[in-house]
Homo-oligomer: A and B are copies of this chain.
C-alpha cells in the first residue's frame, strides 16, 4: 500500500508520453526496481513504431474565419495547467493522434455522438449530406476512432470532437482542482485510428523490428484521411452558439447553453463565417520500450501467466495508467518477497510494462506479434492492468467466462475497501452494489471489449483474459468514462484527494489482479471453469437470436435459423460437464495426466480463434468475443453475427445481407462444436 502510493507519486510527476525521453527514463527505473525486487530477469524490449505528435512550431487549433479569411475566433492552444505543475515542460497540448494534416475550411454540421445511427438519422431523417463539410460531434458513447471513421465514410473533410458537460460532468461535483469534474478548458486527447487490432499501423501482423518491412503511410492500417481535433466545452460553445439549421431531437442536446442546431453552417447573421481547422500533427516512426520481467516456473516453465499494463501516459497519467502500473509494481514487489523466502510458482509469471498503449495498444501488440508462437503454445492467461480506478463505487470485472468462478472465489477472500465495511468481503460489497441480473444472484461480470492491452492476447490469440478496476455507479452516474480522462488534470492529487484517499481501493484492485496471477500460476490444476463458459455461450446464443428476431419476416423469408448454434452449445455443455467430472477422478499424482488435463483447459480459449478473422478485420479472430465494428469499446458476443445483423439496416441488397448472417451463424456453430471437441477425452 505504501509502496503503491510512493510509486504513484514518483511516476506521475512528469509527463511521460510514449516515445519521449521521460517515458524511457521511467522504463529504466521500473526495470531497475523489478530487478531489485528479485525477478529472475528483466529486459527492455524496443520496437520502432509509428507515433504521432503535434508540430512544435505550428500549433493545432480551429478558427472561425470571416469572409476575408480573418480569424475571428481561435480555440485555445493548451489546457490551463493545474496548480503545482506550472513549471513542467513537455505537456503535450490536446490533439488527436494520427490526425491527417490539413487546413480544411467549411460549414459545420453537428452530428451528436457521431455514431453510425447518428449519421443514419442525419442522412435519412434530416436529409443532410455532410460531403465537404466539417462535422462536430460530442465525445462519449463510442470509441473516438469510430466517430472519425463514420465522418470519413459520410464524406466530411474534417471532424471536431468536444467534451460536453452532459457527458463529462458528474452532478454536484466541482471541476478540478475543487472536485473531479472536467474544467471547461480541459480536453480529451486520444488516438483516432481504426486499427482493429493491427498494432503499429506500418507493420500489421509482424513486430516492428529493425529488419521489418514497413508499409508507406498511404498503405498504413487505420490512419484517418481527414484532419481531426479535440476541444473542451469552453471552446465548443463558441463554435456551436451561432449554428443554424434544424433544431435537433432532444437526445441530441447536451448540457451547454446553446441550441445544438444541426447546421450546415451558421445562422443568417453569421452566414459568411466559416470554420477552418489548422492541423499540423506529424506521424513519425519512433522507438518505444516495453519492460518485461519474469519469474521462471518451477515445474512448468513453459506455461505463462501474464500481468501487463501500460506505462505511457498522455500527460501525468495520474489515473490512466499509473494507478494500474502501481498495481503491477506492487505485485512484482510481493512476488519478489515470496521468492526470497523460497517460494517459486509452478508456472512462469511474466510482468509487462507496455509502451504506446495510447497510440493504439502498440507496445503490447508488437510484443504479442514478436512472441506469437510462444504465446499460442504456452500462455495460460493474461490479466490486464490499465487504470485501477475510474470511479469510487465498487469493483468492475470484465473477463472471459472460464475466469468467473475464480474471480468470485478470490473476491470472497479479499476485504472490502469501503469505509464502514469492516469484516465485509469485496465480493459482498460488490454484490450489494452491482448484482448481475434478476435471474442471477452474483456480482455482475461483463464481457471484454477492447481499448486496452489485453486486446491482442484475447481477441487475436485466444488467451483467457480478464481485467478488474474500481468503477462508478453506472445506474446513477451517466457520464462517459471519468470526467478528466486523457486531460492534464489526471494528476496524482486527483486520486489522493478524491478517488482513493486511503489508497484502499487501489489495494483491493491489486489484490484482485495479483490474486488472479498467483492462483493461475501456482494451482496444480488450472482454476478455469468450463461449465461457466457453457452457460455464457447459451446466454449469448439466446441474446443474438433475440436480436435477429426483430426481423421475423425476413428470418422466415431467408430461412435463417439458429438451430445449429444451439445444437453446438448443447454439445459444448455436455462436453464441459463431462470434463469437470473427469477432473474429479483425475489422479493428481500422475504429472502427465495433470498436464494433459491442464492443456485441455488452457487451449479451450484458443479453440475460439478463427485464423481467417472476422470479416474485414484479420486481427480480430475470436469468434465469441470482439468489439462490434461500430464501437471498439463495447464487447459483443458472437461479433460476426452481430455485425452482420447490424449491416442489414444499411444494405442495398437485403438478400445478400441475410446470406452473410447465415454464413456467420454457421461459422459460430462450427467454432463452438470445434471447441467442444477439445473438451472430450483426447483419444
Which residues of A are at the interface with B, using a C-beta cutoff of 8 A?
40, 205-207, 209, 211-213, 294, 296-297, 299-302, 304, 348, 370-374, 376-378, 563-564, 567, 591-592, 595-596, 599-600, 603, 606-607, 610-612, 618, 621, 662-663, 665-667, 669-670, 674-675, 677-678, 681-683
Contacts and interface: CB of A to CB of B under 8 A. Distances in A.
A373 B595 contact: no
Contacts of A610: 205
Contact of A206 (B297, B300, B372, B667): B667
16 contacts: A40-B683, A206-B666, A211-B564, A212-B666, A213-B665, A213-B666, A296-B683, A299-B592, A302-B682, A348-B683, A374-B677, A376-B606, A377-B603, A377-B606, A377-B678, A591-B591
A595 to B, nearest CB: 6
Nearest to A612: B205
Contacts of A596: 300-302
A640 B300 CA distance: 36
Contacts of A300: 592, 596
Contacts of A600: 302
Contacts of A607: 373
A212 B610 CA distance: 15
B564 A373 contact: no
A427 to B, nearest CB: 33
Contacts of A611: 611, 621
A667 B205 CA distance: 9
Nearest to A618: B612
Contacts of A599: 302, 377
A596 B669 CA distance: 33
Contacts of A376: 606
Contact of A662 (B213, B370, B603, B662): B213
Contacts of A682: 301-302, 348, 374, 378
Nearest to A563: B211
A603 B373 CA distance: 9
A302 B678 CA distance: 10
Contacts of A213: 662-663, 665-667
Contacts of A675: 373
Nearest to A670: B206
Nearest to A378: B682
A683 B296 CA distance: 6
A541 to B, nearest CB: 14
Contacts of A296: 683
B373 A666 contact: no
B211 A678 contact: no
Contact of A669 (B211, B667, B669): B211
A665 B606 CA distance: 29
A19 B450 CA distance: 47
A297 B678 contact: no
Contacts of A683: 40, 294, 296-297, 301-302, 304, 348
Given A592-B595, A666-B206, A682-B301, A372 B674 contact: yes
Contacts of A304: 683
Contacts of A670: 206-207, 209, 211-212
B212 A373 contact: no
Contacts of A348: 682-683
A79 B284 CA distance: 68
Given A213-B665, A302-B596, 6 more contacts: A205-B610, A205-B612, A206-B667, A213-B663, A296-B683, A302-B683
Given A302-B682, A599-B302, A683-B296, A373 B206 contact: no
A618 B301 CA distance: 34
A41 to B, nearest CB: 9
Contacts of A669: 211
Contacts of A662: 213
A373 B591 contact: no
Nearest to A592: B591
A666 B211 contact: yes
Nearest to A212: B666
